[in-house]
Amino acid sequence: MLLKNKKVAIIGGGPAGLTLARLLQLHAVDVQVFERDLNQDARVQGSPLDLHEDSGLKALQHAGLIEQFKQHFMPKADRKKIMNAQAEVFLSDHDDLLERKFGDPDFRPEIDRGALRKILLDSLLPDTVQWNHQFISMQKQANGWRLHFKNNTTFYADLVIAADGANSKVRPYLTDIRAFYSGITMLEGYISNIKQTAPQIDQLLNGGKIMAFGHQKNLLMGQKADDEIGFYASFKAEESWSTAHQAIFLDRIKTKQWFKCFYSEWDAIWDNLFEHASLPLIPRPIYCMPLDQTWRTQANLTLIGDAAHLMPPFAGEGVNVAMLDALNLSEYLSSDHFSTLQQAIGSYEQEMRPRAAKMAEYSLANGERMHAINALQNMLNFFQSH
Ligand SMILES: Cc1cc2nc3c(=O)[nH]c(=O)nc-3n(C[C@H](O)[C@H](O)[C@H](O)COP(=O)(O)OP(=O)(O)OC[C@H]3O[C@@H](n4cnc5c(N)ncnc54)[C@H](O)[C@@H]3O)c2cc1C
């Protein structure tokens, strides 16, 4: 096996990095994950993730973790309502009698990010993850790399795999191609104790998701675990919008005024989101890697997940592509078909780039559809045809 007696370092303990670590350990590979979070109790931010049969769920199946997933996913959190700015419901699958099941290609079960991280962490050998290890830099040493972390420790690895997400600090060692701004910014918020604080929103959500469209703006929200919801206001804006506006979202009164003014055509029921969300709200400008990116394969370094192919979240594909990268890379690295690591990595990269580009293109197009003047009709057509 190509990785026999080799040390593998994965930078980043997100879904991509942890899935890869688990899959490599199933092949008895000596692997360490270096994660900047202080410890495993650090809160994982972000909306729940829907895993797809032919990618995210497939990776979990190969990792032997599908039963754990079934115990921790959020049944019915995939149910959705498509609404307009006046909070009228145009499409809802909450009363569908058809119960989607695992194995059905259209079933996209949702899981909280924290729950997914815990399933993956619990599957790893003790001390696989080195917490509080923020990657800073690396330099070539022998046939591998000497890694340097913010806590002043260093580590030697024969093979480095960058899984450190959108702003990867490892990626520049492979390519200087950078992400471009998609033209869309999302403002992220959370409300805990939703049943008490915002019962109207809780009733509308009914444990599922809402996508509301109007006037080229969106409100997207969904149930998280434990009586909490996450939501996004999503709209077209200049790239500099986030920096220019972030101070507003530290302050309750200014936040509410901003919503009233910017979403002036929207019904007052949505005010509840901005009245009760924990502050600050977080502006997230949405970026995408160029679809035609390529680089020269190296023998001791590669990329997976957002570090490789950041894409807008408008098709719910990011984590699924990331977990499929982990599965495919683990198979290339443990295959007997290659005589060198460089060949195995090159084959993975040639398979990964077009697969990810296809999903990124689809996500960009969906972003346009969701922020068009006729977004509501676009999305009704989309969901009715599926
Ligand atoms: C607003 C928004 C909504 C989204 N919604 C969805 C959705 O509904 N469905 C979906 O599929 N995808 C969604 N995505 C995309 C999804 O979050 C990513 O595609 C997915 O998390 C990628 O996984 P990853 O493991 O590659 O990266 P990440 O999840 O970003 O994990 C990277 C890890 O690396 C660590 N790290 C970063 N830098 C360093 C460093 N220097 N040293 C050490 N560790 C480091 C981080 O702490 C983190 O744990 C959304 C993204 C955004 C921005």
Ligand 1, atom 26, residue with closest C-alpha: 305
Asked whether residue 107 is domain-assigned, the answer is no
Residue 323: give its domain's CATH number. Answer: 3.50.50.60
Please check the confidence at residue 5 and state whether its pLDDT lies above 90. yes
Distances (CA, A) of 186 to 50, 213, 233, 306, 343: 19, 14, 6, 17, 40
User: How many independent structural domains does the chain possess?
Assistant: 2
Q: Which of 236, 254, 288 is the last residue of a domain?
A: 288
**How many angstroms is it from 23 CA to the middle of ligand 1?**
19
**How many angstroms is it from 267 CA to the middle of ligand 1?**
32
Q: In this structure, are 261 and 299 located in the same domain?
A: no
Distance CA 193, CA 229 (A): 9
Asked whether residue 275 is domain-assigned, the answer is yes
Q: In this structure, are 163 and 33 located in the same domain?
A: yes
Is 117 flagged in the annotation as binding? no
Is the CB–ligand 1 distance for residue 134 below 6 Å? yes
User: Which atom belonging to ligand 1 lies closest to the Cα atom of 304?
Assistant: 26
Asked whether residue 100 is domain-assigned, the answer is no
* 122, HSE (Cβ side, Cα atoms, 13 Å): 10
Q: In this structure, are 270 and 322 located in the same domain?
A: no
Q: In this structure, are 276 and 301 located in the same domain?
A: no
Is 104 flagged in the annotation as binding? no
Is the CB–ligand 1 distance for residue 118 below 6 Å? no
Is the CB–ligand 1 distance for residue 112 below 6 Å? no
List, for residues 280-289, the tens digit of each pLDDT value.
999 999 999 9
Q: In this structure, are 133 and 39 located in the same domain?
A: yes
Closest-CA residue to 213 (of 261, 257, 263): 263
Mean pLDDT lowest for which of 44-48, 336-340, 344-348? 44-48
**Residue 97's pLDDT is what?**
61
Q: In this structure, are 167 and 50 located in the same domain?
A: yes
Asked whether residue 383 is domain-assigned, the answer is no
Asked whether residue 330 is domain-assigned, the answer is yes
Q: In this structure, are 208 and 254 located in the same domain?
A: yes
Please confirm whether the linkage preceding 280 is cis (ω < 30° from 0): yes
Q: In this structure, are 171 and 230 located in the same domain?
A: no
Q: In this structure, are 316 and 281 located in the same domain?
A: no
Pull the structure tokens for residue 104.
């059905």
Q: Which of 288, 305, 320 is the last residue of a domain?
A: 288
**How many angstroms is it from 221 CA to the middle of ligand 1?**
18
Average pLDDT, the chain: 95
**How many angstroms is it from 16 CA to the middle of ligand 1?**
8
Q: In this structure, are 153 and 284 located in the same domain?
A: no
Is 296 flagged in the annotation as binding? no
**Residue 94's pLDDT is what?**
86
Asked whether residue 102 is domain-assigned, the answer is no
Q: In this structure, are 198 and 313 located in the same domain?
A: no
Q: Which domain holds residue 322?
A: 7-65+112-178+290-369
Asked whether residue 72 is domain-assigned, the answer is no
Please check the confidence at residue 103 and state whether its pLDDT lies above 90. no
Ligand 1, atom 4, residue with closest C-alpha: 313
Q: In this structure, are 294 and 233 located in the same domain?
A: no
Is 306 flagged in the annotation as binding? yes
Ligand 1, atom 12, residue with closest C-alpha: 318
Please check the confidence at residue 20 and state whether its pLDDT lies above 80. yes
Residue 226: give its domain's CATH number. Answer: 3.30.9.30
Please check the confidence at residue 130 and state whether its pLDDT lies above 90. yes
Please check the confidence at residue 291 and state whether its pLDDT lies above 70. yes
**How many angstroms is it from 322 CA to the middle of ligand 1?**
9
Closest-CA residue to 9 (of 174, 162, 160): 160
Q: Which of 238, 272, 288 is the last residue of a domain?
A: 288
**Residue 328's pLDDT is what?**
98
Asked whether residue 74 is domain-assigned, the answer is no
Confidence of residue 165 (pLDDT cuts 50, 70, 90): very high
Distance CA 251, CA 274 (A): 11
